[in-house]
Structure 1
Amino acid sequence: MSTESEVRRKITLTEDEETGLWSAVDEEEGVASQGETRVEALENLDEVVALHKGEIGEPVTDEDLREWGIDPDEASDEVQEPDVPWFDG
């Protein structure tokens, strides 16, 4: 039995054979995270999805970018796929 408040998500979980780290990808949102266990990877993914949707956290400012060594004039607002070997988009 399902309820209206039930949310279904397509998530891919992968364990890296070399590092033992787990990767979790939310296919619909297009975001990913990782953790030392499956549970940790999924918990981290929940946080990433909430950040991505703007449900938690604060927007990144130009001052934040400068603090991280990124020139705000060169930073793109375009959504990009992560540059990680296990992510196949």
Structure 2
Amino acid sequence: MSRAEADDNDGDRPEIRLVENPDGKWTARHLQVEISAEGETPGIALENLMDVVDAVTGDGGHEPTDAELRDLGVDPDKARSQDGDLPDVLQ
């Protein structure tokens, strides 16, 4: 993309730059949000980037399901019955 094309971006569409790294992996960079992500292919790098952008801008993530908690070794009933106090290390 030329510099003129970058300057003409009207803000409605994200400007993404894909770069192949010396190790063969790819880096995708969202120029407006100033976040990068890496992947084995350009498509994976872009997918990883959009996941990170969604999480950072508040559009991503969800309350974990019971199955997701169990996969992490957490008892869903116990996790949801906490009183809301943070552990000392997180305060």
TM-score between the two structures when normalised by the length of structure 2: 0.53
Cα deviation, 1:48-76, whole Å, max 9, x if unaligned, reads 11001111227xxx76xx5xxxxx68xxx
Give the Å deviation of 1:30. 0.9
- Residue pairs, 1:1-89, within 5 angstroms: 7-17=12-22, 19-57=23-61
When the two structures are aligned, how many residues end up with a matched partner?
Answer: 56
AA aligned to 2:13 is: R
CA-based RMSD: 2.0
CA–CA distance in 2 between the matches of 1:55 and 1:38? 22
Runs of 4+ deviating beyond 3 Å: none
CA–CA distance in 2 between the matches of 1:28 and 1:16? 21
Question: The residue matched to 2:24 in structure 1 has which SS?
Answer: coil
CA–CA distance in 2 between the matches of 1:8 and 1:57? 22
CA–CA distance in 1 between the matches of 2:47 and 2:29? 12
TM-score between the two structures when normalised by the length of structure 1: 0.55
For the pair shown, which has the larger CA radius of gyration, 1 or 2? 2
CA–CA distance in 1 between the matches of 2:18 and 2:25? 10
CA–CA distance in 2 between the matches of 1:20 and 1:48? 21
Identity of aligned residues (%): 34
